[in-house]
């Protein structure tokens, strides 16, 4: 494996995503070239460095429970009630609008419009 190929696959190598053949070729390239070994070590130092995480403040959990307690629960009850009222209104309106019998459509006679009915005005030439 060439250095340029290894550089394109370096993150996959570090994450362990390469298959066995590619992993063996990458390890051979790393063993042959000390500058590539230094680059791999630098990537590992940056990618897998533990980051310091500050512990949460002592009153954080109590503050979250206080802010989202009752008000949060009542908000969802209010939304559910509005949704149920909308569904009920729709059902009542649809029940009142629905006809009891299907509508009767009267047939409409279409006038006979043939070319022969146009008379002499149709056959006249336009100059």
Does 11 lie in the same domain as 43? yes
Out of 48-52, 66-70, 94-98, which region has the weakest mean confidence (pLDDT)?
Answer: 66-70
pLDDT tens-place string over residues 12-42: 888 888 899 989 998 888 888 888 888 888 8
The answer to whether position 114 is within a domain reads no
The answer to whether position 105 is within a domain reads no
**Which pLDDT score is estimated for 87?**
94
3-state secondary structure labels for all residues of 27-45:
HHHHHHCHHHHHHHHHHHH
Does residue 65 have a pLDDT over 70?
A: yes
Average pLDDT on 110-126 reads 58
pTM, rounded to two decimals: 0.39
**Which pLDDT score is estimated for 10?**
84
Rounded distance, CA 103 to CA 110, Å? 21
59, 67 in Cβ contact below 8 A?
Answer: no
Rounded distance, CA 127 to CA 123, Å? 13
The answer to whether position 91 is within a domain reads yes
The answer to whether position 120 is within a domain reads no
Which residue range(s) make up the domain with 16?
Answer: 3-47
Here the tokens at position 115 are 């070319």
């Amino acid at each position: 494996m060439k250095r340029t190929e290894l550089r394109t696959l370096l993150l996959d190598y570090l994450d362990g995503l390469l298959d066995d053949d590619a992993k063996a070729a990458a390890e051979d390239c790393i063993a042959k070239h000390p500058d590539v070994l230094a680059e791999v070590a630098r990537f590992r130092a940056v990618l897998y460095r533990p980051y310091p995480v500050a512990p949460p403040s002592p009153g954080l959990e109590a503050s979250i429970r206080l802010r989202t307690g009752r008000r949060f629960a009542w908000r969802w009850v209010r939304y559910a009630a509005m949704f149920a009222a909308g569904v009920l209104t729709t059902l009542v309106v649809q029940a009142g609008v629905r006809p009891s019998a299907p509508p009767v459509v009267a047939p409409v006679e279409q006038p006979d419009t043939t070319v022969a009915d146009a008379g002499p005005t149709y056959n006249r030439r336009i100059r």
